[in-house]
Amino acid sequence: EEHNDAWRYKQKTKQEERDKLVTKLGEDIKEKERKQEEFENLKIELALAEEEVKRREMEERIFQKKLQERADLKKYYEQVMDERKDRAKRRQEEEDEYRRQILEEMEANDKVHQMNSQKARLKREEHKREVNKLIEERRMNQEFIKQQELREREEEREYREFRKKIIEEEGRRLLAMHAAE
């Protein structure tokens, strides 16, 4: 029986060692699974963070592009306004010079300086009316040209708006496509 007790004790000790080993293996497996799950979660967080960075970079590029377009439009508007002022000034100078030349020619042709003052005054008024009529015709021609230019600019503006709309839609489509990835 002593032999039996020793054998049982030995069996019991072996069983306890096996149980400890199984418990230790189970704990090791659980720890390994926990670490693997933690690693997977970190990978997911990293991927999400990278996507967020890409999205923000895309938004920043779009924002910078809009700022540049706005600056370009402002610069274009200022150039157009400067050109318009220059044209108006040149037109006025040309008109003044045209008026002066026509009046000089009319006075020379009609020899106004040789007329008495009443007749000269009447002739000068007639000349002014004729010059004003010529200038008005000239202005009407210039207004016609100006209206044509306005129509052309309006068509150009509509084209730019259409182009801008297409670019914005493409930007939204690209953002949506990147967000889906």
Alpha carbon separation from 144 to 42, 81, 138, 141, 167 (Å, rounded): 71, 19, 10, 5, 35
- Alpha carbon 160 to its chain's center: 11
Q: Are 95 and 140 contacting, i.e. CB atoms less than 8 angstroms apart?
A: no
Kindly state the tokens that stand for 161. Answer: 């708006």
- Residue 50 banded pLDDT, cuts 50, 70, 90: very high
* pTM of the full structure: 0.40
Looking at residue 113, its pLDDT comes to 63
pLDDT at 102 over 90: no
Looking at residue 14, its pLDDT comes to 92
Looking at residue 31, its pLDDT comes to 96
What is the average pLDDT value for the chain, to the nearest integer?
88
Looking at residue 3, its pLDDT comes to 76
Alpha carbon separation from 116 to 10, 120, 124, 126, 154 (Å, rounded): 154, 6, 12, 15, 55
The predicted-structure confidence for 132-176, as pLDDT tens digits, reads as follows: 998 899 889 989 998 999 999 999 999 999 989 998 898 888 888
Looking at residue 44, its pLDDT comes to 94
- Alpha carbon 50 to its chain's center: 26
HSE of 177, CA atoms in CB hemisphere, 13 A: 7
